[in-house]
Amino acid sequence: MRLRGRRIVGGFGEGIALVLKSPISFLEGVDSRGFIVDPETGLEGRRISGRVLVFPWCRGSTVGAYKIYSLSIMGLGPSAMVCREADIISATGCGIAGIPLVDRVQPDPLKTIRTGDHVKVYADLGLVEVSKRTLRPESPPRRS
């Protein structure tokens, strides 16, 4: 399946999708090891590293942009992000970290992409390719 959107930060990224139905705060909702800690996301305990993060928008402090950057330079950031509407936090964080970011994707990515799908983001083209999962969704990794 191919979805079209708007390029915010160019580049290419791919990985398994993590789809958050609620906005995320990178400052408070993701720990320094790249694990989601916000229970409202429904994905608490999942690692964002190497994943394509699909979410409505970021909430909270603009310090969340620095959190995206710091996770990225430690190799713990997502490979790409797809959101309904880019905001200052996601756009700045992805921009300084070099993480591809696409928004205004149609049809709605929160309704068409499921956690566990394989997603390729060609941000320069505003293109998101989705391969539906055929296996059971992966279980969250154990935190140690």
The domains of the chain are located at 2-131
Token pair, residue 20, equals: 């958050």
Exposed, middle or buried by CB within 10 Å (0-12, 13-18, 19+), for 95? Answer: middle
User: Could you write out the DSSP letters of every residue in the chain?
Assistant: -EEEEEEEE-SEEEEEEEE-SS-B-HHHHB-TTSBB--GGGS-TT-B-TTSEEEES-B-S-THHHHHHHHHHHTT-S-SEEEESS--HHHHHHHHHHT--EEEEEES-HHHH--TT-EEEEEGGGTEEEEE---SPPPPPPPP-
Would the pLDDT of 134 be above 80? Answer: no
Choose the weakest-confidence range: 15-24, 66-75, 115-124, 127-136.
127-136
Query: Averaged over 50-71, what is the pLDDT?
Result: 94
- Return the CATH number of 2-131, one of 3.40.640.10, 1.10.1740.10, 3.50.30.10, 3.60.90.10: 3.50.30.10
Would the pLDDT of 139 be above 70? Answer: no
Active-site choice (61, 72, 79, 131): 61
61 annotated active-site: yes
Return phi, psi of residue 31, to 5°: -80, 175
pLDDT in tens, 65-102: 999 999 999 999 999 999 999 999 999 999 999 999 99
- As a whole number, the mean pLDDT across the chain is 92
